[in-house]
């Protein structure tokens, strides 16, 4: 496996994504990753490594800037406050997707997008913008959008995975998202995990000291399996990604 830091510019700001390449020649299916709100830290890089080991080209896009990891929740909240405009978020997501799709190692007809927490909103807005992604997966993702009618632009399949006891992604938010998907006739599924709150797929979540954000290994494992099953349907599973 090889890794690279990839700088790219959006609106005059330099962003630095993280690319993980699998072994082997030829082209591979690609996976765009949206990181948690804290930035492009070790956890998202480990996910890129895991995907590359399965044979995918994985690119963790940067929406904070400079590949920075934010030091605390206050910094994170301030930064995310600047990204509530879906047009800005979509432009950042499009830029990250372009970096991945233009790589010579990637088959641009077989690309997925996955995201965690606010990174889930990042990839869902990309899908609502009509991007050519075969599937979109959100883990404990923010499901709100200012433009629910744009779900009609979604081209691929959608999977979102949510903790049943998540106080951040509320039951009302989940219901609104499901209605959005139904109205647009998207091929979608929503998995709800019992005994799980926000951040269940992040092994580092407990370090935040916030009871609303907690790692839950069974839900992490089950949601990862569901993602791989969707990959099998859309971009090819680990045994057939080249």
Specify the length of the chain in residues.
242
CATH number of 2-234: 3.40.50.1820
Residue range 100-116: average pLDDT?
Answer: 98
Q: Using CA atoms, how far apart are residues 8 and 42, in angstroms rounded to an integer? A: 20
Residue range 127-144: average pLDDT?
Answer: 98
Residue range 102-110: average pLDDT?
Answer: 97
Name the strand (E) or helix (H) holding 47. helix 42-53
Report which of 225, 228, 138, 223 is spatially closest to residue 186, judged by C-alpha positions: 138
Q: Report residue 240's pLDDT band, with 50, 70 and 90 as the boundaries.
A: very low
Q: Using CA atoms, how far apart are residues 174 and 211, in angstroms rounded to an integer? A: 20
Region of poorest pLDDT, from 123-127, 144-148, 234-238: 234-238
* pLDDT reported for residue 73: 80
Report which of 51, 76, 50, 49 is spatially closest to residue 65, judged by C-alpha positions: 76
User: Within the chain, what is the greatest distance between any pair of CA atoms?
Assistant: 47
The angle that helices 118-128 and 86-101 make with each other, rounded to 10 degrees, is 80
* pLDDT reported for residue 198: 97
Report which of 222, 242, 108 is spatially closest to residue 162, judged by C-alpha positions: 222
Instruction: Please give the backbone phi and psi of residue 27, each rounded to the nearest 5 degrees, phi first.
Output: -100, 155
Q: Using CA atoms, how far apart are residues 158 and 23, in angstroms rounded to an integer? A: 28
For 174-223, the pLDDT digits (tens) are: 999 999 999 999 999 999 999 999 999 999 999 888 899 999 999 999 99
**Residues whose CB is less than 8 angstroms from the CB of residue 71 and which lie 6 or more positions away in sequence, other chains included:** none
Report which of 63, 75, 179 is spatially closest to residue 122, judged by C-alpha positions: 63
Judge whether 149 and 179 are in contact, CB under 8 Å: no
Residue range 128-136: average pLDDT?
Answer: 98
User: Cα angle at 48 between 196 and 127, to 5 degrees?
Assistant: 70
% of the chain beyond a pLDDT of 70 = 98
Q: Using CA atoms, how far apart are residues 149 and 135, in angstroms rounded to an integer? A: 19
For 53-69, the pLDDT digits (tens) are: 999 999 999 999 999 99
* pLDDT reported for residue 194: 98
What are the residue ranges spanned by the domains of the chain?
2-234
- Global pTM reads 0.97
Average pLDDT, the chain: 95
**Is the pLDDT at 161 greater than 80, yes or no?**
yes
């Amino acid at each position: 496996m090889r890794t690279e830091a990839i700088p790219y510019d959006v609106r005059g700001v330099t962003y630095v994504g993280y690319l993980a390449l699998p072994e082997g020649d030829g082209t591979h299916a690609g996976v765009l990753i949206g990181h948690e709100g804290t930035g492009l830290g070790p956890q998202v890089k480990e996910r890129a490594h895991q995907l590359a080991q399965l044979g995918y080209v994985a690119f963790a896009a940067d929406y904070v800037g400079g590949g920075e990891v934010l030091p605390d929740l206050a910094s994170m909240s301030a930064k995310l406050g600047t990204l509530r405009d879906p047009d800005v978020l979509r432009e950042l997501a499009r830029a990250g997707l372009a970096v991945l799709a233009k790589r010579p190692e990637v088959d641009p007809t077989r690309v997925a997008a996955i995201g965690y927490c606010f990174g889930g909103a990042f990839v869902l807005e990309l899908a609502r913008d009509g991007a050519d992604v075969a599937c979109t997966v959100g883990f404990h993702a923010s499901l709100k959008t200012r433009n629910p009618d744009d779900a009609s632009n979604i081209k691929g399949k959608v999977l979102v995975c949510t903790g049943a006891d998540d106080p951040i992604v509320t039951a009302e938010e989940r219901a609104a998202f499901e209605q959005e998907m139904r109205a647009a006739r998207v091929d979608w599924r929503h998995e709800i995990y019992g005994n799980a709150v926000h951040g269940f797929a992040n092994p580092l979540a407990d370090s935040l000291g916030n009871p609303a954000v907690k790692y839950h290994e069974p839900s992490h494992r089950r949601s990862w399996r569901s993602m791989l099953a969707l990959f099998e349907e859309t971009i090819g599973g680990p045994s057939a990604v080249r």
